[in-house]
Structure 1
Amino acid sequence: MFIQPWDAALDRSEWQTWIAGGHDFGLLSVNGLLGHSPTVVPTHFVSGDDELLIHLARPNPVWPSIEYDPNVTFTVIGDYAFVPGPWRAKPGTAPTDGVPTSYYAAVEFTCQAHVVDDPQEKAELLRRQMAHFQPDGDHALIAVDQPPYGRMLPGIRGLRLEVTDVRAKFKYDDHKPVEHRVAAADRLTARGQGLDVPTARQQLRRLDRMGTWSP
């Protein structure tokens, strides 16, 4: 992932806060076996202390590749929008001379994958996931010897992704003048399609923290 200086995370807490704010679905990318393409798996995840926790079905074709090479990447993308060229035209130029772009946030985790097959450890992994996704506890007890989860545990394998590096990108034209960024956020909010509104929020949040960008 190419990151311009003005698109980089301002600090570690910025991307951590963004992830914690409901961005808990991403893409697991695994190196393919010799002669095969890489495998990409969309899945929910739970973040912990320098690790990500996921589980996948045992028949998933990703397992041989992970066991062959545990170096994996997990990518989370959100708050994205297409920005048409006329919105980015420089003052005094024709609107059609503006060059379009994409706004988005992305966090890329480089990880070492550790397969979790022990039944008790898989149950604990699921309990941690459920504590995140169903914090009200409105689910059956997750235990090896109790239904419904007990009988389902053999059908899954857990993954503990040990995070070795994190690269975060917040691409919202932060190198442009303040007036340009405010106008873009206003236009996104007015258009209101897809993720336009959260994209505008990210742009204004960065503006409040950064102001006029400088090296």
Structure 2
Amino acid sequence: MLIHPWDAPHEDTEWQTWPAAHDFGRLAVNGPPGEPPAVQPLRFAYDAGRAEVVAHLARPNPLWAALQADPQVLLSVVDDYVYVPGPWQPAPGTPAEHGVPTSFYAAVQLRCTAHVVDDPAEKADLLNRRLGHFQPAGGSAPATPGGPPYGRMLPGIRGLRLEVTGVRAKFTYAGHKPEEVQERIASAPARRRGPRDSAAREHLLRRRHS
């Protein structure tokens, strides 16, 4: 992933807080010799304090063999993306029709070492950490080995801890454009009101003033 200086995080907390609210990504795992990488859609919980991701998958998932053969993986998350029409982007004094279209997006790639979790107590702890992330208000019984309602389901899954060993992040939101152009772009999503326009506008404004 190419990261221009103007797209790089302004500080570590910028990328560290983002995956907590964008917790669905794609886990890329090296395939066996002669085969392409395997890519698994993954709902996860990111723990910045421990620098790790926790998740689980069904025991029959074919990904396990690849993970055990090579535990070095990449978790990729892309969101807050919008299409930016050319007329939003022309340089000052340039006709609107000469503007070049682009896309805005945020992306975080976590390079990780995968650890497979099979111990029932450790799996229950992992599930409870996930429940604490996705259901912080509660409403579900805790997972306990052998106890209701999840105990009988534990043998059917395997836990996954992803130890984060490297990070690449970018927030591409017109950071290299003149202030006049940034102001023009910032006003446009508020009028269009398309999916993710509000989030993209917030990124642009936040990064202008940070």
TM-score by length of 1: 0.93
Structure 2 equivalent of residue 167 of structure 1: 168
Q: CA deviation at 1:94?
A: 2.6
After TM superposition, list the pairs within 5 Å mapping 1:104-115 onto structure 2.
104-115=105-116
**RMSD, aligned CA:** 1.1
Q: Distance in 2 between matches of 1:172 and 1:126?
A: 36
Q: CA deviation at 1:18?
A: 2.0
Structure 1 equivalent of residue 17 of structure 2: 17
Q: CA deviation at 1:59?
A: 1.4
Determine if the alignment matches structure 1 residue 203 to structure 2 residue 199.
Answer: no
Deviations 1:62-118 (A, max 9, x none): 111111111100011111101011111122223222111110111110000011111
Select between 34-43 and 186-195 the one with higher mean Cα deviation: 34-43
Structure 2 equivalent of residue 85 of structure 1: 86
Indicate the percent of aligned positions where both proteins have the same amino acid: 53
SS in 2 for 1:37: coil
Structure 2: state its 5+ residue gaps. none
Q: Which residue identity is paired with 1:124?
A: D
Q: Distance in 2 between matches of 1:205 and 1:191?
A: 20
Q: CA deviation at 1:187?
A: 0.3
Structure 2 equivalent of residue 189 of structure 1: 190
Runs of 4 or more consecutive aligned structure 1 residues displaced over 6 Å after TM superposition = none
Q: Which residue identity is paired with 1:32?
A: G
Q: Which residue identity is paired with 2:138?
A: G
Structure 1: state its 5+ residue gaps. 210-215
Aligned length: 208
Q: Which residue identity is paired with 1:191?
A: R
Determine if the alignment matches structure 1 residue 57 to structure 2 residue 48.
Answer: no
Q: Distance in 1 between matches of 2:97 and 2:181?
A: 16
Structure 2 equivalent of residue 7 of structure 1: 7
Select between 100-109 and 39-48 the one with higher mean Cα deviation: 39-48
Q: Which residue identity is paired with 1:108?
A: Q
SS in 2 for 1:194: coil
Determine if the alignment matches structure 1 residue 155 to structure 2 residue 156.
Answer: yes
